[in-house]
Amino acid sequence: MRVKIVFNMLGKLLIFVGLTKIFPLLVALLYREVDVLSFLVSLGLTISVGQVMQKFSYSKQEIRHREGFAIVTLGWVLISIFGAIPFMLSGIFDNFVDAFFESVSGFTTTGATVIMSLESLPNSILFWRSLSHWLGGMGIIVMSIAILPELAGSMQLFKAEVPGPVHDRLRPRIKETAKTLWVIYLLLTLAQIIMLSINEVPFFDALIHSFGTLSTGGFSSRTLSVKIYDNLIIEAIMVFFMFLAGTNFTLHYQVLRGNVKALIDNKEFRFYVFLVLTAITLITINLRLQVYKTLIESIRYAAFQTLAIISTAGFATVDYDIWPPFARGILLVLMFIGGSAGSTAGGIKIIRVYALMKKGFQELYKLIHPRAVTSLKIGNRAVSEEVSTSILGFFFLYIVVFVIAAMTLTSFGIDIVSSISAVAATLGNIGPGLGLIGPLNTYVSLPVVGKLLLAFCMLLGRLEIYTVLVFMLSGFWRK
Amino acid sequence: MLSLDINFNDIAFGESGCNMTDLLSKLKTVKQDLTSTVTQQALIYGANTIGFKLAQQLTKLSRDVVIIAEDEQRLKRIQEELDVMALVGSGVDLKTLKRARIGKTALILAVSENDEKNILTSIYAHKLGVERIVAQVSDDDYLNNNDFLINTELGIDLLINPEEVVVEQIGDLIRPSMESGIESFIDGKVQISEVTISHRNPFAFNKISQLNLPRNSLIIGVLRRNRLFIPYGEHKLYPGDTIYILGKKGFRTKLGQLLSKNRRKKQKVVLAGGSEINYRLALNLAGKQSILTLIEAKQERCEELAEEISDLLVLNGKAINIDLLKEEGIEQADVFVAAGANDEENLLTGLAAKSLGCKKVITIVNSLEYSYFSEIVDVDTILSPQILVLEKILDFLHQGQVDTETILDGQMHLLKLEVPDRVGRRKLKLKQLKHASDLIIGVVIRDEELIIPDGELRLRVADQLLVFTLTAKNNLLAELFGDV
C-alpha cells in the first residue's frame, strides 16, 4: 500500500466535499438562519483538514488497485464523518453516532433517518441532507474524476465506486465518461425539479424531493414525506423519475443520443420492467382484495411503493407496514433486488439477479445433458466465467453480511421482522423497512451499536461489498 | 496548492450562481457534450506490445483512444493500466468499428499480428473516412514500394514492416559513421543528423568554428560521456563524441560525402542466423563495400540463401559455436549481427562475438523485456523490432507538430517563438542577443523560408525562431530579448 498517495487523495476529496458546503451555506443565508455559522465552521474545518492532509503527503506514486479500494472506502468514511459536523454544530443531535448515522445515510443514498420531526429543522440542514444524497448518488469520487485533473485516468477509483458487475465506458476517457454521467444526472434532476415546480410544489421542496428521487435516497423535507401533497400527478411524476433513477445511466445516454432501440434490446431493462409490472400487479390484487375499496387507490399505492422500494429511494405515501403479509413480502424481496447496474439505485442489482437465475437454470440443464457445452449469455453478450463467478461471490457475500448483521440486531432484542428489514433496507440503501423501522417510524429507537452496524451496512451496500471487505482483509495490508 | 484552491472556488462559485442565463449556458454545454464530435479520437487495432505502447503515448498526448482486439485477457490488462476504451472484436468487423465510433476517428493504427486483417481494417477505415492510417505488415510481399497503390488507392499513409525497419536501422548503424536523420521537423524540411566522431573522422580534434560544415547547417548539441551540451565555436570535438547537426533537407548527402572521404576500406560483416532480417540485410549489403558471412544451423536454409544471394559466404553451423566464430576470424570482423530466432541465443552470441574482439555487435531481440538489457549485456546495440516500429509510428504522428516538443529522448526541448516587433525593427544580429549557454537558435522562419542561421544573421520583424534548449523554459522571450 502506498499510504502517501492515499492520504493525498483523501485530502483532495475532503477539500472537495468541504467546498460543496457552500451550497447549504447559501441556503442558510437566503433563509437568514443561524446555521450559517455551523456551515461556515464545518466548511473551514473540512477544507483545512483536507489541506493539511494533502500538504504533508505530496507524492507522485500511482494509484493501483489497492490504493483505489483504500481511497474509496476511507474516502466515504471520512466524507460521512465530516458531513456529520453541521448536524452536530446545529444542535440537532446530542450525540455524534446519530449525526454520523444521518450523514452516512445521506451520502449512501439510504434515506434512513434518526430525526423524528423534519418540520422543526432549519432549511439549510434539510438542504444539506438532500445534497449529500445527490452527491453520493452518482458518486463523489466519480464527480472528482470528472473535475479534478489529478484523478483523470483512475479506472481503479471509478470501478470501486460505480455499482454493477461490468463497467461500460460511454467515452474513451474515464474523465469524459464521468462527466457524461454527471451531466445526464444533472439533466434528469433539473427535469424533475421543473416538473414538480409546475405542479405547484414549492421550489425548495421540489429541489429536495428531486435530489432524493434521482439519487434514490429518499430524504424528504416533510415528516410525512410525499404523502403530504396527496396529489396523484405529483406521485406519478415521482414514480416516473424513480423508475428512471433505477435504470442504467448508459441507457439514458443512448436514448439521449437517439438510440431508443438500445433500450428495448437491453435484457436488464426488460427484466426491470417485467419485475416492476409483476410486483405492481400482485400488490394491487392483494391490496384491492384486502385493504382498499377501489382499484385506482390500490394501483396508486402499489405503483408508488413498488417503485420506491425497487429503485431503493424509500419514499412512502402510505404506511405499508399495515399491508397484508403478501404485499409486505414482495416489498421485502424487492429490497434485495434493487435497481439496474450503473444506476444510482442500491441492492443486489437486477443484472446480477438475472445472471444468477440464468446460471441456476443452466446448471439444471447440465444435469440433463451432462456433456453440454454452454455459455452464459445476457442478450447477445456472453458473460465471461470470471464475471459470473464474481457475481456468485457477490451474492454469497451479500447474504452472509445480511445474515450476520440481522442476527446481531436480534441479539439486542429487536424482533426478527424489524431486524431483517432493517438490514435489508440499509444494505440495499433503501431507508425505511418494516415493523419497528417502518415508514412512519425512524431508526432512533435502535441501540448505539445497532446504529453503527447499520451505518456500516449502508457503506457496504453503496460500495457493493467487495470494495469495503477487501479493505478489511489481512492480505490487503501485506507489502 | 494555492492554484488548486482558486480552481476549486471557481468551480464552486460557477455552479452556485444558478440563475437562468447560467442554466441556459450550462444546458448548451451539456448539449455540446452529448452531441459534439470527438475529433481527437484514435483507434488502435491489436492489443500487443506495440498497441499498448502506442495507446500509452497517445493518451499522454491527451487523445481519446479506443483499442480493438480479439484477445480479451490482454485488453483487460491494458484497460487496467491505461485510460482507454477497450472493445473485444476484430478490426475487420464493421459492427465493432461502428461501436468504436469509426466515424469520429481521425487516426487508425492497425498493428495486430495479422497482416491481412491490418490491411483490410485500413481499407475499411479509409472508406469510412478516417484521415490518417497506419498499418503494420510483416510479409515482404505487401511492400512492393507501390506508393501510388498503397497511399492513394488504399489510403494507407504509412505501411510499416518491422523487419524492414530493423534492416534500415542496421544499415544506418553499419555504414559510415553517420546515422539516419533521427528527427525531422516542419514536414521534414529540417532534419537533425547524428554523427559519431571516430579517430578517423575528419572532424576529430577540431574546433567547431574550424569545421568545414556544409552551408546551412548547424551543430546544435554534443553528447559527451552521456551528457548533452550546446557547443560554441571554441569547443573542440574529440573521438567518442556524438554531434547532432541540424540542416535542411538534402544536406545529409553533402555531409555524407564530407565524412566518408577516408572510408574506402571494405567492412567485414558477420550475420548470425538465417532469419528474414539477416536475409534482407545480406541482400542490401551484398556488393556494397562489405565482405559478408552468414552463419545458419539449418542445411536447407543455407542452401536457399546461397542460391539467392551471391557475394555471400554461407556457413552451416551454430552461431553460438565459439570455435566456428574463431575459425572465421571474428576478431577481425567490423560488424556482427545476431538475428536468430531465439532472443537468448542472440544475446549470448552477441556477447561472445564482442568478447572475441568484434568491433561492433548488434543484437536483435523480439521480446521487449530484453531490449532494456543494453546496460547489462556488453554488446554495442540491442535492437527490438517492436521498439523501432513504435518509434517510427510515433515519428509519423509527430510530423508537423512543433510547439514545445522534446527531441533526443527528451534531453532537448524545442520551442517556437516570434521575434517581438521592437527587436525585429532594430535588425539585431543573432550574436548580439545575450542568453545562457543552454540554448541555441536553430531555425529562423521568414515568410515561408527556412534559414539555418549563423551569428551574423539579422533578425527582422515577423521572424519566427525555433529554439533548442536543454531545460524547459517558461520565460524564454524575456531571456532572449529582455535586455536589448
- Check residue B258 and give left, alpha or beta (phi > 0: left; psi -120 to 50: alpha): alpha
Q: Which CATH number fits domain B267-390: 3.40.50.2000, 3.40.50.720, 3.30.499.10, 3.40.50.300?
A: 3.40.50.720
Residue A477 · residue A1 · CB < 8 Å: yes
Q: Tell me what ipTM this predicted complex has.
A: 0.71
Residue B385 · residue B163 · CB < 8 Å: yes
How many cross-chain Cβ pairs, A to B, lie less than 8 Å apart?
59
B-chain CB neighbours of A25 within 8 Å are none
Listed in order, strand segments (DSSP E) in B275-351 are 290-296, 312-316, 335-338
Instruction: Give the containing element (helix H, strand E) for A423.
Output: helix A416-427
Q: A446: which 3 cell numbers?
A: 435502535
Nearest to B83 among A173, A183, A253 (CB): A173
Task: Look up residue B167 and give its amino acid.
Answer: V
Most confident of A99-113, A137-151, B67-81, B137-151: A99-113
pLDDT digits (tens, 9 = 90+) for B288-339: 667 888 888 888 888 888 888 888 888 888 888 888 888 888 888 888 899 8
Burial A293-306 (b: 16+ CB within 10 A, else e): eeeeebbbbbbbbb
Does the structure show a pLDDT above 90 at A212?
A: yes
C-alpha to C-alpha distance for A1 and A70, rounded to whole angstroms: 9
Listed in order, strand segments (DSSP E) in B258-301 are 267-272, 290-296
Please report the pLDDT score of residue B31 as a whole number.
47
Backbone angles phi, psi at A308, to 5 degrees: -60, -35
Please report the pLDDT score of residue A241 as a whole number.
95
C-alpha to C-alpha distance for A311 and A247, rounded to whole angstroms: 8
A-chain CB neighbours of B37 within 8 Å are none
Mean pLDDT value of segment A268-272: 93
Three-class secondary structure of residue B245 per DSSP: strand
Please report the pLDDT score of residue B459 as a whole number.
81
CA angle B355, B357, B358 (to 5 degrees): 105
Q: Which CATH number fits domain B177-262: 3.30.460.10, 3.90.950.20, 3.30.70.1450, 3.40.50.11540?
A: 3.30.70.1450
Q: Do A171 and B84 touch (CB under 8 A)?
A: no
Task: Look up residue A208 and give its amino acid.
Answer: I
C-alpha to C-alpha distance for A133 and A108, rounded to whole angstroms: 7
CATH 1.10.490.10 correct for B402-481? no
Backbone angles phi, psi at A224, to 5 degrees: -85, 0
DSSP designation for B105: E
CB of B106 less than 8 A from some CB of A: no
Q: How many residues does chain A have?
A: 479
CB of B58 less than 8 A from some CB of A: no
pLDDT digits (tens, 9 = 90+) for B187-223: 667 777 777 777 667 777 778 777 777 777 788 888 8
Three-class secondary structure of residue B3 per DSSP: helix
Q: Do A183 and B34 touch (CB under 8 A)?
A: yes
B-chain CB neighbours of A156 within 8 Å are 80
CB of B72 less than 8 A from some CB of A: yes
CA A96 to chain centre: 22
Please report the pLDDT score of residue B13 as a whole number.
36
Q: In order along chain B (484 residues), what is the average pLDDT of each group of 10 residues? A: 36 39 51 48 88 85 85 84 86 85 87 88 88 83 66 80 83 58 62 74 76 77 78 78 78 63 67 87 77 88 85 85 83 86 88 86 84 75 84 72 56 76 78 76 80 80 80 69 66
pLDDT digits (tens, 9 = 90+) for A186-197: 999 999 999 999
Please report the pLDDT score of residue B278 as a whole number.
87
Name residues 12-41 of chain B within 8 A of A (Cβ). 12-13, 16, 23, 30, 33-35, 38, 41
- Chosen from B1, B8, B72 to mutate, greatest number of chain A CBs within 10 A: B8
Please report the pLDDT score of residue B262 as a whole number.
46
Q: Do B30 and A23 touch (CB under 8 A)?
A: no
The predicted model scores a pTM of: 0.73
C-alpha to C-alpha distance for A177 and B96, rounded to whole angstroms: 19
C-alpha to C-alpha distance for B165 and B392, rounded to whole angstroms: 8
Mean pLDDT value of segment A255-264: 87
Q: How many residues does chain B have?
A: 484
A-chain CB neighbours of B9 within 8 Å are 19
Q: A151: which 3 cell numbers?
A: 484523478
Lowest pLDDT segment from A16-25, A394-403, B6-15: B6-15
Write down the architecture of domain B41-160 according to CATH. Answer: 3-Layer(aba) Sandwich (3.40)
pLDDT digits (tens, 9 = 90+) for A156-195: 777 777 776 777 777 778 888 888 889 999 999 999 999 9
Please report the pLDDT score of residue B19 as a whole number.
46
Rg (CA), chain A: 22
Chain B nearest C-alpha distance from A19 (Å): 7
C-alpha to C-alpha distance for A216 and A195, rounded to whole angstroms: 17
Listed in order, strand segments (DSSP E) in B280-424 are 290-296, 312-316, 335-338, 360-364, 381-383, 405-407, 412-418
**Per-chain mean pLDDT for chain A:** 89
A-chain CB neighbours of B35 within 8 Å are 257
A-chain CB neighbours of B34 within 8 Å are 180, 183, 253, 256-257
